[in-house]
Amino acid sequence: MGAVTDVLTDIWHRATTAAPLPDARVALTAAAVAALVVLVTPVWRVARNVITIAHEGAHGLVAVLCGRRLAGIRLHSDTSGLTVSKGRTRGFGMVATGFAGYVGPGVLGLGAAWLTSRGYGVGVLWLVLVALTLLLLQIRNWYGLWSVLVTGVLLFVVTWWLDVRWQVAIAWTLSWFLLLGAVRPVVELQADRSRGRARSSDADLLARLTGVPGILWVIVFGLVTVGCAVVGGRLLWP
C-alpha cells in the first residue's frame, strides 16, 4: 500500500509542478510537426483516430453532464465513431450532445494550450491519460478498444519514462495538433455533405432537432474550431 501511495504522490507532484517553457525553436517545431500531421493526408488518416477519440469523448462527456445515460462508444477503422446515450430524444440535452462532437477537440486543445503555456504541459499529458482510462470503460468494440489502448500506452510511456523536456515538447505538439486537427474534420464534413454522403452527420442530426439548416451548424462548427485554433495558437506562439 505504501508503494502505491508513493507512486501516486510522485505522479501528483509531476502533474502539478510547473516545468520550464520550451525555447522558441522547440515551440515552432511543435507547431510545424502538428501542421504537417494534419496536412499530409496519409499521416492524417492515422492521426485522425486521436481526433475521433476526442470527438466521441466530447459527445459522451456532454451527454453525462446533461443527465443522459451513456450506453457506449464505438470507434471504427475509417476514423468514424458512434456514441450512444439514452434519455429524451429531443430537447437541450440531445442538442448539446450532438453539438459537442466537432467542437470538442478544439475546446480540448484550447484548454491544453492554456495549461501548457503556463508550464503545466506534463499535467496535460496526465489529464489526457486519465481521460483515456475513463473512456476505455465505455468502449464497445474491438477496434475502439485497440485504438484507445495504443494511444494510452504511448502516452504512458511518454509521461513515465521520458525526460521532462521531451514531455513538455510533446505536450506542446499535442496541443497544436488538437487545435489544428479540429478544423480539418469540419471541412471534410461539408465536403461529404455536398456529395450526399453524410446524411446522418451531427450537423444533419442537429438540423432535424432544431430546424436550423445543417450548413449553418457546419459554419458554427467551423467558427468555434477556428476560433479555438487562433486563441490557442496565440497562447502557444513563442
Secondary structure of residue 75 in the 3-state scheme? strand
For the beta carbon of residue 94, count every other beta carbon within 10 angstroms.
20
What's the pLDDT at 210? 96
Instruction: Give the CA count within 13 Å in the CB-facing half-sphere of 219.
Output: 6
What's the pLDDT at 17? 92
Q: What angle do CA 75, 77, 79 make, to 5 degrees?
A: 65
Rounded-to-integer distance, Cα 51 and Cα 80, Å: 10
What's the pLDDT at 2? 67
**For 140-180, what is each residue's pLDDT tens digit?**
999 999 999 999 999 999 999 999 999 999 999 999 999 99
Low-confidence ranges of the chain (pLDDT < 50): none
What's the pLDDT at 28? 97
What's the pLDDT at 10? 83
What's the pLDDT at 23? 95
What's the pLDDT at 4? 74
Contact 45, 32 (CB under 8 A): no
What's the pLDDT at 115? 98
Phi first, then psi: what are they for 237, rounded to 5°? -70, 130
